[in-house]
Structure 1
Amino acid sequence: MDLAAFERNLKRIQAALPAHMRYVAVVKADAYGHGMPQIVRRLMQSGVDCFAVANVSEAADIRHMGAGWPILVLSPLLPQEDYFLIQHDLTATVSTLDECERLNSLALAHSTIIKVHLKIDTGMGRLGVWHDSATELLAKISTYPALKLEGVYTHFSSADSDPSFTQIQRKRFLDVIATTTALPPELLIHADNSAGIDTLSSPSPFNAVRIGLLQFGIPPYPESALGRVAVEPVFSFHTRIGLIKELPAHTDISYARTHRLSRDSRIAILTAGYGDGVPLKLSNQGSVLIRGQRCAILGRVTMDQTIVDVTDCPEAKIGDHVVLIGKNAPNEITATEFSHTAQTIPWETLCSVTKRVTRVYVGSREV
């Protein structure tokens, strides 16, 4: 992980945001596989406005790193988790009247206030109160003495592929905001994330944006407003050659014999497989970089090893550094290319690199 690149990304993103726009740093799933402690510390130093996580366990990890930071829990809480909101000073996402009543009762019982963001379902079909009922629930929240409404937000389902439907979702959300009276002036209003920002160049009530993948140097959709920010990859994925051997033409390779050598070949066995985060879909499809040269993956990726063709890379030897994602001059395999070849998305790629893969941080500074 290149922490210096990460810090440069943060500065560029912050410079691109209007002065009134709050930066909500999404760091769920161990900061998208980058390592939450290292990433969160840099975000704190850079002065982001809020953190967003998936659950109370992730939120507690951040709270142990620093008091006072607003932390939004994006997923619904189980009733037995509610007290963590009070214990760690967290902000809950609510979607239903039942959740509001439950949290209000808990807060009253402990003589405190619980902060909430209301999520509005404008077409994602996941969390959130359906937009036709959102105005009513917003009004109801204001009557609960132990709840403090700190934000209202939605989530776009197809920001990358369906701009027309995204505009429908945006209008549904804005209609709710427009028809709701007496919203707190400090309320965070957010709909966009790295994938589909369209609120930076025109007047709107939006005053916050959720930044996830972009801060790690991967523009989700380059056509979005922040997609044009020049960010640098933070994440790279490496392994080594554990064995090299010669095999004759017509030899079958790996499980199920899905590849047969067309020539006498020199193959390298890499010390990483799907147990480390090399997707099975890269079998017979992907490539790696060895000594700056692309080498094809042969046969099925296995749990602990991957087989590649180094016949045309005669300099390759045992112990050589191998790049799965990253630069190896003069070539590069980006996370986006890797994901496309594996028929997945960069979010899954980053989150799928397992814990047995050692995280190495470069460009760090004392904290």
Structure 2
Amino acid sequence: MIDNTIISLSEKSIQNNISFLRSKLGDQVKISAVVKANAYGHGIEQIVPVFQKYGIEHYSVFYYSEAIRVYNSLPKPASIMVMGWLNEKDIKDAIEKNIEFFVFNIERLESAVKFATELGLKAKIHLEIETGMNRSGLNGPELNAAIAIIKENIEHLELTGFCTHLAGAESVSNHFRIQNQLQKYQEMATELEANDLKPKYKHVANSAASIVYPETRMDMVRVGIMLYGFWSSTEVFVQYINSQDDMVDPLKRILGWQSQVMAVKEIKRGEFIGYGISYLAQSNIKTALVPVGYSFGYSRSLSNKGRVIIRGHQCSVIGVVNMNMIIIDVTHLKTVEVGDKVVLIGKQGKSEIKVSAFSEISDELNYEILAHLSESITRKIIK
């Protein structure tokens, strides 16, 4: 782990976001915390125990390797659901560990039956259906085939969920498409129930849908970005805030990112700084070197554009972002020393740099910026 750069995670913000979601969704709706992509860059091992501390008892991941990380991080047993990749060995191991998984093709369902029969256990499956996303899921004929297999092997299968994924609930431009998906989902759910199969959870909603389309909450919602203090889009935030009296954002960012000054240097006018000729000193300036670069998730697109905070003041990134370093113009600071704290994301004094600031400069989504944060960076929960 890298010890000169730290990602801090606010426990109070985690508690706040979970409390807000519970107040919005109600007690009857199960929250499945989506912790794929290293918990959106926040750190599975660090975030999962805190989520559980504040009542989250269901977790969604994409890869089986992530499921195992969640499994090993939980202080006490909870439900884990794999939405994406498992190989044959993983399916067997998942059944043994009571880990739930999506079934979006007949081959996976047949493998689940095979291994569950061998083990004398029940596979906990979530049937994912295709409703218009055109990504993964069972179409109509495949659903009928799956129903037949489940009914024949009901002693080895537990129908834990019946689900789909909505194609862009964060934008009003997709409204017509979303409505068509919901209609198709209900038609296929009716077909399932006509065959006396009742899933424990019906679930279609992600963070955006749970706010914009209340009818999608059903039995469970798969909430990712909102748990970490971000809105899926400006549209979702505006729709929510317009329905409130206080006009205050109820979500709090969890993540802060800090490093430190590793060197200070005086540069004469007319000298180029860093790789190539992207930055020419127009006057005598002072620079600070910070041990963070694109290998940590600080994008090269922030070259000559990024901002950091040192001693309470915003300072500019100058030159090209290196693999492991950035160069900062600190000429306007009265003093700066090796070891000074550098805020990449977060607050210091009256200054603040938000993840959204990265998005505005680099055209990356919040999701991208968070997911690109290197797992080698030390992460710490702050009480």
TM-score of the two chains, using structure 1 as the length reference:
0.90
- Please tell me whether residue 9 in structure 1 is matched to residue 29 in structure 2: no
- Of residues 81, 92, 100, the one that matches 1:72 is 81
Structure 2 partner of 1:187: 200
Q: Which amino acid aligns with 1:294?
A: Q
Among candidates 117, 127, 131, match of residue 122 of structure 1: 131
1:73 alignment partner AA: V
Paired with 1:324 and 1:47, the residues of 2 have a C-alpha distance of 31
What is the rounded CA distance, in whole Å, between the counterparts of 1:279 and 1:91 in structure 2?
35
Change (3 A) 1:133 1:284: farther
Deviations 1:271-291 (A, max 9, x none): 211122211111112111122
Partner SS for 1:236: strand
Q: Is residue 204–residue 217 contact of structure 2 (8 Å, CA) maintained in 1? A: no
Contact 1:50 1:70 in 2 (8 A): yes
Superposition map of 1:1-367 within 5 A: 1-64=9-72, 65-66=74-75, 68-130=77-139, 132-133=140-141, 135-137=143-145, 139-143=147-151, 144-145=153-154, 146-161=156-171, 162-164=173-175, 165-182=177-194, 184-185=197-198, 187-198=200-211, 201-202=214-215, 206-224=218-236, 230-363=250-383
SS at match of 1:196: helix
The residue type paired with residue 232 of structure 2 is: P
Residue by residue over 1:97-137, the C-alpha shift from the partner in whole angstroms, topping out at 9 and shown as x without a partner, is 1111121111112211101001123333322223x446424
| CA offset digits 1:25-68 (Å, max 9, x no partner) | 11123222222233211222222241111222222233333554
Q: Name the SS for the 2:298 alignment partner.
A: coil
Identify the range of structure 1 (301-310 vs 179-188) with the bigger mean alpha-carbon deviation. Answer: 179-188
Kept in 2, the 8 Å contact 1:194–1:227? The answer is no
Secondary structure of the corresponding residue to residue 129 of structure 1: coil
Distance 1:198 1:173 in 2: 19
1:207 deviation in Å? 1.8
Matched length: 361
The residue identity in structure 1 corresponding to 2:307 is: S
Runs of 5+ unmatched residues, structure 2: 1-8, 242-248
Runs of 4+ in 1 over 6 A off after TM superposition: none
Cα displacement (A) at 1:199: 6.8
Which gives a bigger RCO, structure 1 or 2 (Cα 8 Å, sep 6+)? 2
Report the alpha carbon displacement of residue 321 of structure 1 after superposing the two structures with TM: 1.0
> Normalized against structure 2, the TM-score is what?
0.86
How much identity, in percent, do the aligned residues show?
27
CA shift in 2, pair 1:179/1:222, >3 Å: farther
Inter-CA distance 336–100: structure 2 relative to 1 (3 Å threshold): same
Tell me if the contact between 2:166 and 2:205 (Cα under 8 Å) persists in the aligned partners: yes
- The whole-number CA distance in structure 2 between the counterparts of 1:243 and 1:300 is 17
Deviation at 1:317, TM superposition (A): 2.8
- 1:197 and 1:45 mapped to 2: Cα distance? 23
User: How has the CA–CA distance of structure 1 residues 82 and 47 changed in structure 2, closer, same or farther, with 3 Å as cutoff?
Assistant: same
> Does structure 1 retain, via aligned residues, the 8 Å contact 2:162–2:202?
yes
Q: For the residues of structure 1 that align with 2:279 and 2:178, how far apart are their CA atoms? A: 43
After superposition, the Cα gap between the structure-2 partners of 1:133 and 1:309, relative to the gap in structure 1 and judged at 3 Å, is: farther
SS in 2 for 1:360: strand
Distance in structure 1 (CA, Å) of the matches to 2:360 and 2:18:
26
- Unmatched 5+ residue regions in structure 1? none
Distance 1:170 1:224, change over 3 A: farther
* CA root-mean-square deviation: 2.4
Closer/same/farther in 2, CA of residues 249 and 205 from structure 1, 3 Å limit: closer
